[in-house]
Structure formats: C-alpha cells, structure tokens
Amino acid sequence: MRYSKLFGKTTFGEQQGGSRLISHQLLIKGGFIRESVAGRYYFLPLGWRVHEKIRAIIKDEMDKAGAQEMITPTLHPLELWQETNRAESAGYELMTVTDRRGAAFALGGTAEEMMVDVVRKFQLSYRDLPFNIYQFSTKFRDELRARGGLLRMREFVMKDAYSFHRDAEDFKAEYQRMAQAYHAIFRRMGLDALEVEADNGYFGGEYCHEFVVEHEMGESRFLVTEDGAYAAHEDVATFQRELINPNDELKPFQIIEQPEWVKTMDDNEKHYSLPRAYYLKNVVYRHVVTGDIIIAGIRGDLDVNKAKLEHAIDAVGLLEEATDDDLARIGTQRGWVHSWGHEGARYIGDYSLTTVRNFIGGQKELTTDSVNVNYGRDFTCEMLADIAMAQPDHLSADGQQRLIEKRGIEVGNIFQLGYHYSTKMAGAVFTDQDSQDKPLYMGCYGIGLGRTLATVVEVYHDERGVIWPPSIAPFHVHLISLRGGEEQAADLYAKLQADGYEVLWDERDESPGIKFADADLVGIPVRLVVSKRTGENVEWKRRDGTEVETLSRQEVWRRLVEIYSGL
C-alpha cells in the first residue's frame, strides 16, 4: 500500500473527543478509527487490518478447538427475547425496531435466543452432541454513557460462541477447552490475560470467568493471591475471616449508657477505643419485586457485597439500597438499625458475625448501646452466608496467602448457562439414548474485538505512538523512501510483497521528520528507510527498540523471517 493513497492518514494536533484513554487518542491520531457519533466508530483501512488479524487469530483458535462458525440475523425477532423474559430484564440497553408490517425486532447485545432458536429447529439426538457454534457479529448496547473509546461502545463486533451438551459433565470439558483457547488467543496478540472468576449473574453455578488484562483504567476490580493461583472478580472473591479475639472470655450481654454524640463508626472507635472489627454493622436493602426489607449484618471492618448477598437469597439483580421510607417502614432510621428485632425485616448475616467475641452494638438507641453481644447467644439471622466484599490484605480462602487488589480490562468471558435458556425456550431438547427428550445443557463464550484491539494499544505504546505486536500489526514493514531512494524503494516494495510481506510505503514528498513521526505513530514493527545515502543497503529500525542499523538486504530478509515466520 502506498501511503499517499491510503485512506485515513495520521492527524496530529488537538485531543480527539470521546475519551481520554491513550488507546483512543492514538487510534484516532494514527488513522485507525474515526468516530461516527458517540460510541459508534468507523474502522479505517489501517484499523480494519488490525481488527481482521485479531478476527483471524480468534477464528483459528476457535476452529482448532472444534467450534463451528456460522451467522445469525442481526435483527432478532423480539418474541424470542420475550420467551426468556430478556426483552424486559435486559432493559434499556436493548434497542428495538419495528418493520412496516409491524414485526418487532431486537438489536441484540448477545445471541443466546437466536442460537437456541436455530438449534431447536433441528431434531437433535445425543449423537449430534456436543457442538459449539459461534459467530463474529455486530452487537448493540444502548449505553447512556459511551466515553470509553473502543472500551465501551454502543456497537461492536463480538465473537460469541454457544456450546450445546448432553449434560453438565460434558459442558465442563468444553469449558476447559474454551479457557485454553482463550489463553492461546490472547497470548498470540501479546496480551497476558488473567482468568478471573466472575459473577455468573442469573445463572448461578460455578463456572464463569472473565479474561482480564491488568490495567489501571480497567473497569474490572479483582483480587489475586500473591502467587496468582487464585484470581476473582470483587463480586465473587472469597477470603478467610480471621478470628479477631478468640481468647476473650464471653461476657454477659448488657445495655449501657452511651453519649448522644456517638453516631458513626469513627465516633465508636473514639468512644470505645477498639478497632472497627469489634462493632456490628447493618446495611439495609429492599427487594424490588417482593418489597421485602433485608438487613445484612456484618462485622464493622467489612463491607457488604451486594452481588454475593443477592445470590445468597436468590434475588440476583433485584436488591436496591433501602430508602428513608423503607427504614421508617421497619420503625427506624439511618444509623440506628438494630441487628435484631425489626418486625417484618429479614436478617441475613455474614460469616464474620461468628469471628468476634463480645461485639459492641446491635441495638443502639439515642443514649444507649448494647455490648458483649454474641452471635447465636444474643441474636441470630435467618441465615449466615458469604456476603462480604474481599479486600486487599485479607487472607485467601485457604488461609495460605494475602489477597492483592488489581484492576483490569475485561477482554473476554466464558460462561456456564446450564439449562437456563433451554428450559425457558420450548423445544430446546435432544433425544437421549433412552429415547427421552431432555433439555440441552449450554455454555457461552464471548470476546469483544474492538475492545481487545484497544487493550493491545493500552499495553503496547509509548509517547510517540502505537507499538503493534507483529501478529496483529496492520502491515509488516513501514518502508520510507527519502530523496534519492525512490528507485531502490520501488524495488524493495515489489520484492517484499512478492515474498508475502505486507508493506506500507511512504512515498510522499514530505520531510524525513514528518515521515518518521508518522511511522512512530502508526507503529508497524519494522521501519525500513532507503535514501541516496543508504545505497544498496537499508536502514533498519524496530518500533519496539531504539537502535538504527544499516543492513544488507540479505540481513533484512533474515530478520523479517525471524519476526514474522509462524505468525
């Protein structure tokens, strides 16, 4: 490709709207992408080359793992989403459109319903199972805010795969196979993606992992052990609750006087001179469907993890923080919620309630407080469960290491769906060996391509531009001809291309300074310069290095093979 005729050249100058993310800025300036309207992007020829190399890597590994590519229509008949109740629960992020005959469609963010629908059109037997079908298709999310460049788009290409199995056992094997494929995929594009346990949302079950690339701007917060063997999203991370004062004697429950100024946790610490762990803490929620008031009791130094609480009481996505009105309904107000005794409230306790002897609090009035409160003896909850947020420095669940907090960008996920869709959608069955129709057991597996591309740029860049990994670089060689090097460049251009190398040739009548700056911004792994000065030789520079060397053509070829063979 001659750079002069490339559509989408570099743009230096002011910051480009939409996002302050460095990947966004570099991709716009380098001529890889352009914004259409917020959250919707053109991929220019340069950016599309990278996108399509990412697609090819994903396809290669998916196919090697036995998955089969296909495609579903972009417009999903809305009645399918109604079958699974997702037309409502996916809520505002789902766009819908009606055709002129009145048929309604969803612009889907995922395609579970579509895939189940096509699968149930066939009379499947156990002999046809398992299979894993996937597509690369445009997905839509009607995000209110979309300021994350390619990290949070309203429209993007996603690889979404759906596997169908006879039972959970068979699914587990596929889940492992997909996890391996994902590691291979991200490794091939230079990303070190951690497999992080994540929340399975409505589906419960044990199998759900995010593939996360560590990054300070990432939206995923997760916790890992020092050795990395355990990694879990904050929503699900578990930890060991240490006993705070196991050797203290149990003292008799007492209601004592307490000055009126003691209201907050800080006040307590000042007044009692004991650390936060010694106080009882309560957080109140309302179930949006049943209206139940839930009081979550926890040790004072811990925070309630709403996602865990929702799973504990089977109310995923259904809890909201209680309002003042809600508190009034159970006869109390903010700061004075009791650990027992509010009529009509459901008490759910964290396991940490059993780790302190002689808690302070639990039934606090204006000028009194309860002390020496012990779980089991003085109060109990409807259930004890893991409803606490893991924090850095907590002990890992096995008690062997401390947890470390990290942030990262989620580039993919793998997901156990189980029977969720196949039981909601009539006819999603197979005929088993015993001639009985049984529901299909499912998993799903997603990778966002634009997001992955942006993540690579977040990881691989410097102040001058992108530094593409060779496997997904838009071109293999950035050839620059300076005055007197035109003929030699034309010859190199032809010979490199004849040998299968993708060459971007900057043959413009521009200064060396402009051409070098553009090459740095565009970030192709190898820069070759020919000029009057280089004669038969070629100036070689790698984008990820600083050394400029003058090499024979033979040596240039040798090094190119070294970099690009096997990619």
> What is the x/- site pattern for a copy of itself, positions 150-169, by CB under 8 A?
----xx--------------
138 touching a copy of itself, by CB under 8 A = yes
372 alpha carbon, distance to own chain's centre: 44
Largest CA distance in the chain: 96
Give the closest residue to 562 by CA, choosing from 506, 501, 511.
501
According to the 3-state scheme, what is the secondary structure of 352-406? HHHCCCCEECCCCCCCEEEECECECCCECCCEEECCECCCCCCECCCCCCEEEEE
Binds a copy of itself by CB under 8 A, chosen from 42, 206, 248, 256:
42
Residue ranges in 501-560 that form contacts with a copy of itself under rule CB under 8 A: 508
Can you tell me the distance from the alpha carbon of 184 to that of 324, in angstroms, rounded to the nearest whole number? 51
> Minimum distance between the CB of residue 103 and a copy of itself, rounded to whole angstroms?
7
Binds a copy of itself by CB under 8 A, chosen from 29, 51, 86, 364:
51
52 touching a copy of itself, by CB under 8 A = yes
SS3 assignment, position 497: helix
Q: How many residues bind a copy of itself (CB under 8 A)?
A: 59
Residue ranges in 310-339 that form contacts with a copy of itself under rule CB under 8 A: none
114 touching a copy of itself, by CB under 8 A = yes
Can you tell me the distance from the alpha carbon of 49 to that of 7, in angstroms, rounded to the nearest whole number? 13
> Minimum distance between the CB of residue 100 and a copy of itself, rounded to whole angstroms?
5
30 touching a copy of itself, by CB under 8 A = no
Can you tell me the distance from the alpha carbon of 359 to that of 375, in angstroms, rounded to the nearest whole number? 9
> What is the x/- site pattern for a copy of itself, positions 473-512, by CB under 8 A?
-----------------------------------x----
Give backbone dihedrals phi and psi of 333, rounded to 5 degrees, phi first. Answer: -145, 170
Whole-angstrom CA distances from 332 to 286, 337, 350, 474 are: 14, 6, 22, 63
Give the interface segment with a copy of itself, choosing from 69-77, 238-246, 293-301, 416-424 (CB under 8 A): 69-77
131 touching a copy of itself, by CB under 8 A = yes
> Minimum distance between the CB of residue 240 and a copy of itself, rounded to whole angstroms?
44
According to the 3-state scheme, what is the secondary structure of 95-149? EEEECCCCCEEEECCCCHHHHHHHHHCCCEEHHHCCEEEEEEEEEECCCCCCCCH
Give the closest residue to 113 by CA, choosing from 423, 438, 425, 441.
425
426 touching a copy of itself, by CB under 8 A = no
Residue ranges in 351-380 that form contacts with a copy of itself under rule CB under 8 A: none
Q: Which is nearer to a copy of itself, 97 or 366 (CB)?
A: 97
Amino acid at 474: P
Length of the chain equals 567
117 touching a copy of itself, by CB under 8 A = yes
Can you tell me the distance from the alpha carbon of 275 to that of 269, in angstroms, rounded to the nearest whole number? 6
Q: Which is nearer to a copy of itself, 113 or 520 (CB)?
A: 113
177 touching a copy of itself, by CB under 8 A = no
Give the interface segment with a copy of itself, choosing from 111-119, 182-190, 311-319, 320-328 (CB under 8 A): 111-119
Any residues with CB less than 8 A from the CB of 540 and at least 6 apart, and which? 526, 527, 528, 548, 549, 550, 551, 555, 556, 559
184 touching a copy of itself, by CB under 8 A = no
Residues near a copy of itself (CB under 8 A) are 1, 4-9, 11, 34, 36-37, 40-45, 47-49, 51-52, 66, 68-75, 77, 92, 95-97, 99-101, 103, 107, 114, 117-119, 121-122, 127-128, 130-131, 133, 138, 140, 142, 144, 154-155, 508
